[in-house]
Structure 1
Amino acid sequence: MNRPLAYPEGGFFYNTPSHASISILRAFLDLAQALDLETIAEGVETKEMEEALLNIGFTQAQGYFYGKPMTAAKALEFIQSGQQVTH
């Protein structure tokens, strides 16, 4: 069974994660886990943001750090090519 998704908006921190933004994201993650929701952090743009989210407990993320938006055809081509996301 697929679990519903919960996405915290990537704007909780833009450059340097603050104590307040980390506290908000921890609370978001705790609530999502209590409700048995799968979480995906959005808006990851830097290695620092990725590391902070991993340290908080997020296991999935998306954003420009991993790749720019692409058409469905380009996404299919990327998946079929077996390429890995590089930073």
Structure 2
Amino acid sequence: MHTEDRPTPSWMAALAKVGRLTAREQEVFLLLADGPTNGEIAERLFITERTVRAHVVSILAKLGLWSRLKACLAAAAYTQTTTPTLAEAG
């Protein structure tokens, strides 16, 4: 059985910290689940790429993650384990 598709304990710890993110950081975090570029996120949220980069850096720090890839994987796991909210639906 492959375990690469399952969240690791460090991801689980990161998922428990999602509530520490600002509303905008949560938006960026949820968008990371699909693996878009900073430019694609910027277009979707009507912000600059530089602002997206700043949010990603903050997300990594607050969640204790070391790479964007881990953030993307954590976001994908998070979206599969939570119920959509109005912020996610919009």
Larger radius of gyration: 1
Q: Which one has the bigger helix percentage?
A: 2
Greater relative contact order (Cα 8 A, min sep 6): structure 1 or 2? 2
TM normalised by structure 2 equals: 0.29
